[in-house]
Structure 1
Amino acid sequence: MSRSARLSLLLVAVLVLGGVAVGATLHAAGRAARKEHAPAGGPAVASGAVRLDDPRRVFFRTMAWGPHRDEITAVPADRPTGPRTASGVRCLRFHAAAGTGICLQAVRGALRDTYRAVILDHRLRPLHRYDLAGTPTRARVSPSGRTVAWTVFVSGDSYAGTAFSTRTSIVDTRGRHLDANLETYALTVGGRAVHAADINVWGVTFADDTHFYATVATAGKTYLVRGDRTTRTLRALHPNVECPSLSPDGTRLAYKKRVKGADPDAPWRLYVLDLRTLHESATGEHRNVDDQAAWRDDHTLVYSLPGDFGSDLWTVPADGSGAPHRLVTAALAPVFPR
């Protein structure tokens, strides 16, 4: 190798090492800045055994700063602000029912992150894993624990605009039959079959192992649909419904509705739909709710709003009465005992 070639190679090496050093310094500075601006204190969290079949516990993803952030955590059902027991299992999205859990996780890579869905048993041990096609956004388990659904963003990262694409999958946790993309189901709107390239499906909530509700978007509109896994069909029931959540008694759906005159970046308000009459009513929460609400019981909704730690859980009566109040700080994706 000539002297000029050696000098060129040395110069490239110096530049690369210098870039790595600068990047590391900026990364450390960014972490320090985030820590400096993070809220002090926060809920106390300690490691311990967590069982998804414990009826005395509420579960959620803890957002408190510290070594347990993003872990699935248990708290007393009658005292959700009580001491938190962290499981060691980290999830971006989480849900559970009848001792079965679904955890949508990030898999950290040297060049980029990937994502996977993990089916968990009652001790949060992994049973099955599925690679995901995009960024996790929604997850639900059927009341029996036998059927699980999840939604990811294939492109885009928000429902607020129109430039996004989703993919929703449903899997039988016993037979492991996977419907990888609900867009392959036959869709009818107003009794007419719809075949369009812009169909998106998201936000499944289960009635049972075979039947479910979800949101479908096409031609710039969203609809509540009732799905049937046996017939592989989606039938539109009501317009302007996103991220539905079925009440424990199966009679109502909580959902986020786009309202006229709202900020395009914050367009949703929390509503409840009576499935028998299809009459919808607004709740007492007048702020933007970008979440798939949970039912604490047949009368009370729980949902996330931005907070000092990223997310807090708020609650409001489902019948439109009362005012919202904060239930738990630094928490996301709650699961209540049934």
Structure 2
Amino acid sequence: MTTRLRLLITALVAVLLAGVAVGYSALSGSRPEEVASTAVSGPRLVVLSNGRLSTVSRSDPSGPREVTEQRCDRVYSAGGTTSCLRPVGAFKAGELAVLDAGLREVRTLPLTGFPNRTRVSASGRMVAWTLFVDGHSYAANGFSTSTGILDTRSGAVVTSLEEFTSTVDGAEVDAVDRNFWGVTFTADDNRFYATMSTGGHRYLMEGDFSARTLRSIADDVECPSLSPDGTRIAYKAAVNGDPQQGWRLSTMDLKTLAITPLAETRSVDDQPTWVDDRTIAYGIQRDDGINDVWTVPADGSGVPAVLVPEAASPAPIG
């Protein structure tokens, strides 16, 4: 399928989804968190409440939340920068909106595709995004993603990680079936981790932004998320290597590559978030289509618990 045909199909589907979104918003506009808005101070979590950027107290995450007018499909905040992947609308492509600490829009980038993942480096300088441009599930055959990175300080934009030189076990890989998704940044703003899929394998890749390179670290790792201390990756792995069977959350020690399966045994199709060095948060959709943010200990102990009801896309701030 040509790129032009993919983009045409994406635009047509966007029009159809926009109509569905309008109906959904009308039906769900009276949900409690939509009408309850209150100032939240202290350590907080950024979440999406019915598609609107919101904050909750980390000491009372199921309590009152501050709901803004910013609408996003995916969101992440760090270092005073918020990345908001805005939804695709009727006759309107999506976009990346970069917001400052006061949630004022400082930059937008037009994007073609359906919002899927986004991350911001701890300093707030680097912003990454992943879009579906063909297919809408990592379990689907023939899916295609587009992953880019913005340096908010220099203004440099990498529209696709396919521009980087990629190596697996030291050998360069330039196959046309390469897909990248799920960026997570290290503390130095230059290095990052991401997933690369090619030839039926999914690899954890370590990237160097300035050198424009990516190298393989491990196999069967998707949607990595680096711990605050920089020593571990939380991620999802396809059960028995088959995404059709779902995904299991685990952590990996980056020094030893030792894997710790987490106590969450349900399938989790999300990029996990570290609330702190001991706790992993992630979204799971209920049977009624509403998402909840769950949490589980990072050491494999404990049991999953709801952290923020009726919310998605968590990120710790403050």
TM-score (norm 1): 0.82
* d(CA) in 2 for partners of 1:135, 1:40: 26
String of CA shifts for 1:17-49, please: whole Å, max 9, x gaps: xxxxxxxxxx89x959x94xx799654643466
The change in CA–CA distance for 1:161 and 1:71 in structure 2 (over 3 A counts) is same
Distance in 2, Cα, partners of 1:249 & 1:125: 30
Report the equivalent of 1:322. Answer: 302
Q: Is the 8 A contact 1:295 1:301 kept in 2?
A: yes
Partner of residue 74 from structure 2, selected from 83, 93, 100 = 93
* Residues 249 and 264 in structure 2, CA contact (< 8 A), matched pair in contact too: yes
Do residues 154 (structure 1) and 125 (structure 2) align? no
Quote the Cα distance in structure 1 between the aligned partners of 2:45 and 2:30.
25
Percent of pairs identical after alignment?
45
Distance in structure 1 (CA, Å) of the matches to 2:29 and 2:280: 27
Could you give the per-residue CA deviations for residues 226-251 of structure 1, whole angstroms, max 9, x where no partner exists? 00011100000000000000000000
Cα deviation, residue 194, structure 1: 1.0
Q: State the distance in 1 between where 2:173 and 2:289 align.
A: 43
Aligned residues: 296
Aligned equivalents of 2:134 and 2:34: distance in 1? Answer: 36
Deviations 1:145-166 (A, max 9, x none): 0010001011111101231111
Show CA shifts across 1:181-233 (max 9, x none): 11110111011111211111110000031000000001010000000011100
Residue 91 of structure 1 aligns with an amino acid whose one-letter code is: C
User: Take 2:260 and 2:291, find their aligned partners in 1: how far apart are those partners?
Assistant: 26
How far 1:140 sits from its partner (Å)?
A: 0.2
Report the AA paired with residue 46 of structure 2: F
Cα distance in structure 2, aligned partners of 1:241 and 1:148: 21
Change (3 A) 1:204 1:319: same
Is this contact kept in 1: 2:43–2:316, CA < 8 A? no
State the match for 2:36 in structure 1: 46
Match of 1:249 in 2: 229
Which ranges of structure 1 fall in alignment gaps of 5 or more residues? Answer: 1-26, 63-68
User: Are the aligned partners of 1:100 and 1:119 in contact in 2 as well (CA < 8 Å)?
Assistant: yes
Structure 2 unpaired stretches of 5+: 1-18
Question: How many Å separate the matches in 1 of 2:212 and 2:144?
Answer: 21
Amino acid at match of 1:227: G
User: Does residue 83 in structure 1 map to residue 97 in structure 2?
Assistant: no
C-alpha contact 2:42 2:57 (8 A) present in aligned 1: no
**Aligned to 2:194, which of 214, 232, 239?**
214
Assess, with a 3 A threshold, how the Cα gap between structure 1 residues 143 and 323 changes in structure 2: closer, same or farther.
same
- Tell me which amino acid in the other structure corresponds to 1:73: S
Is 1:73 matched with 2:54? yes
Query: What RMSD, in angstroms, separates the aligned Cα atoms of the two structures?
Result: 2.3
Does the CA contact (< 8 Å) of 1:46 and 1:86 recur in 2?
yes
Write the distance in 2 (CA, Å) between the matches of 1:252 and 1:114. 36
Distance 1:56 1:210, change over 3 A: same
Amino acid of the residue matched to residue 284 of structure 1? A
Q: Which residue of 2 aligns with 1:291?
A: 270
Alpha-carbon deviations, 1:263-311, whole Å to 9, x = none?
x544200011000001112100100000000011101101111124520
Q: CA deviation at 1:180?
A: 0.8
Verify: 1:278 aligned to 2:257, yes or no.
Answer: yes
TM-superposed deviation, 1:59: 1.2
**Contact 1:47–1:88 under 8 Å retained in 2:** no
1:322 is displaced (CA, Å) by 1.0
Query: Which residue of the partner structure matches residue 46 of structure 2?
Result: 59
| In 2: Cα distance, 1:84 partner to 1:288 partner | 28
Matches within 5 A, 1:1-338: 31=23, 35=27, 42-43=32-33, 45-47=35-37, 55-62=42-49, 69-109=50-90, 112-207=91-186, 208-260=188-240, 264-307=243-286, 308=288, 310-337=290-317
Q: What is the CA distance between 1:316 and its match in structure 2?
A: 0.7
